[in-house]
Amino acid sequence: MQHHLVLKTAGLPPKKTGTLVIYAMEGKPPEGAAVAIWQATGLEWERTARAAAFAGRQGQVIDILTPPNLDADRLLVLGAGKPDDGQTHGLTGWADRGGSLMAKILATRAGKAAVVVDGPEATPQAIAELAAGLRLRHYSFEKYRTFARKEELNGEPGELAVTLCVADKAAVDKAIDKRMAVVAGTLLARDLINEPANVLGPEEFTGIAVELSAMGVEVEVLTEEEMGKLGMKALLSVAQGSDRPARLVVMQWHGGRKKDAPVAFVGKGVCFDTGGISIKPAGSMEDMKGDMGGAAAVTGLMKALAGRRARVNAVGVIGLVENMPDGKATRPGDIVTAMSGKTIEIINTDAEGRLVLADALWYTQDRFNPRFMVNLATLTGAIIVGLGHDYAGLFSNSDDLSAQLYAAGLASGEKVWRLPMGPAYAKLIESRFADIKNTGGRAAGSITAAQFLAHFVNDTPWAHLDIAGTAFGAKASETSTGWAPGFGVALLDRLIEEHYEG
């Protein structure tokens, strides 16, 4: 059980604090406002650094307990790396620095910490990223624990107050407020993915999305009956083996001009995926509670846009189902008709996410005529084989949109890599009995899944992000303790901010 985190800013460090943090660049003693703090200790810099084997590289630390002449329990001197590191790695380097800092603060078990952040690279935007890293790394999902492991306790339950000591408090506060809106969206996505499936089904997920209406998001919910009248038989075929009814949730943020067409985001929301009749192996099936990672990212994005009052019109559409095997479940060999009128032979009921997206994509482009559509889905295990857990797979019919997403990925730290599409791959999903089939087999599995989705986007500029390797099962990083990092929210927010606002 951790403290509640309170982030504050100030011009000078508090007179008394638990842990005081300053930085030193590689090969240099502390500079700027940190000089007076270090000099107050009366310690010799070169001798101390040599004894601690400290060269100022990222990750290095000098830890001084009860530092002389300072009203603090602890002084941490952290390596800041080379002066150009912030530029080399962009603002994501500052988020990583914040995550690393939080890990060190938590290790001290302090209730209060003050961090001196200055220097020419410490712009308000950079400090906002540092704050984001602090908050993201502090996150934990412990609501179902009835105990806390002793080694994980950060003192007694209460507040962890971290004060960032900065030169321009007003500018930094403004930048942090904006960045924290996106962090809140990321943390919502993490919470949704971490929830067990017995707690979070389609109806419960819908209830959480509806709560965004309090922030000004217009939320509309389509029931199974309403989807049936629209002809969404592909989506409904996935849900028919479950006692839990499917839902399609439409979220709209009206932050731009009325005449501006919206940007649109579509998420796969399989709240639990057994594979259906084509049932999955038992090993790691518990992870399939995260098969709604695309819907979680879209919902988190809508919260982020509303939270920072983004100047854009945006639509988020999520198809929520549970894929279960019973007497009513879809069988391999069944043929269904999608909302578009296209017929689909279902070869494998475990290739279900693309059936959900088929109707959700068609509905979105048909109703909203958006400037572009991006769908996110934990779609294929094949993408993990190809790209591991560091990059999401990108497939698109638009070179411009692909380039924008790639750049936004580098800037946000949520990276994407484009893979090919084309007639040779489209041929693999041709069906003997229907217009197309829902899987082309093991070869190029991620690509044929994208080729399937391309049938339902018409001429709309479109990108498909296969986030099976990045939405859950991810390794720990500086800003995440692992498994569910909330991938996609920061990426798409950056895409909108840089290209589609105003």
pLDDT digits over 307-343, tens only?
Answer: 999 999 999 999 999 999 999 999 999 999 999 999 9
Which are the catalytic amino acids?
Answer: 280, 354
Confidence of residue 90 (pLDDT cuts 50, 70, 90): low
The sign of the torsion formed by the CA atoms of 45, 48, 54, 57 equals negative
CA atoms within 13 A on the CB side of 226: 9
pLDDT digits over 96-107, tens only?
Answer: 999 999 999 999
Residue 45 CA to residue 54 CA, distance in Å, equals: 10
Query: Given a cut of 70, is residue 409 above it in pLDDT?
Result: yes
Centroid of chain to Cα 165 = 28
Q: What domains does the chain contain, in order, with CATH numbers?
A: 4-167 (3.40.220.10), 196-499 (3.40.630.10)
Q: Which of 113, 23, 115 is nearest to 77 (CA)?
A: 23
pLDDT digits over 446-476, tens only?
Answer: 999 999 999 999 999 999 999 999 999 999 9
pLDDT at 420: 98
> What average pLDDT does this structure show over 254-260?
97
Query: Given a cut of 50, is residue 294 above it in pLDDT?
Result: yes
pLDDT at 81: 87
Residue 470 CA to residue 487 CA, distance in Å, equals: 6
Q: Which residue has 């899944």 as its token pair?
A: 449
**Bridge partners of residue 393, in order along the sequence:** 417, 466
> What average pLDDT does this structure show over 124-132?
97
Query: Given a cut of 50, is residue 152 above it in pLDDT?
Result: no
Determine if residue 291 is left, alpha or beta; phi over 0 gives left, psi from -120 to 50 gives alpha, anything else beta.
alpha
Quick check: 314 and 252 in contact, CB under 8 A?
yes
pLDDT at 151: 43
Confidence of residue 156 (pLDDT cuts 50, 70, 90): low
In the chain, what percentage of residues exceed pLDDT 90?
A: 90
Q: Which residue has 């704050």 as its token pair?
A: 131
pLDDT digits over 73-84, tens only?
Answer: 999 999 998 875
Query: Given a cut of 70, is residue 441 above it in pLDDT?
Result: yes
Alpha carbon distances (Å) from 109 to 113, 154, 157, 497: 10, 5, 11, 37
**Bridge partners of residue 377, in order along the sequence:** 466
Query: Given a cut of 70, is residue 154 above it in pLDDT?
Result: no
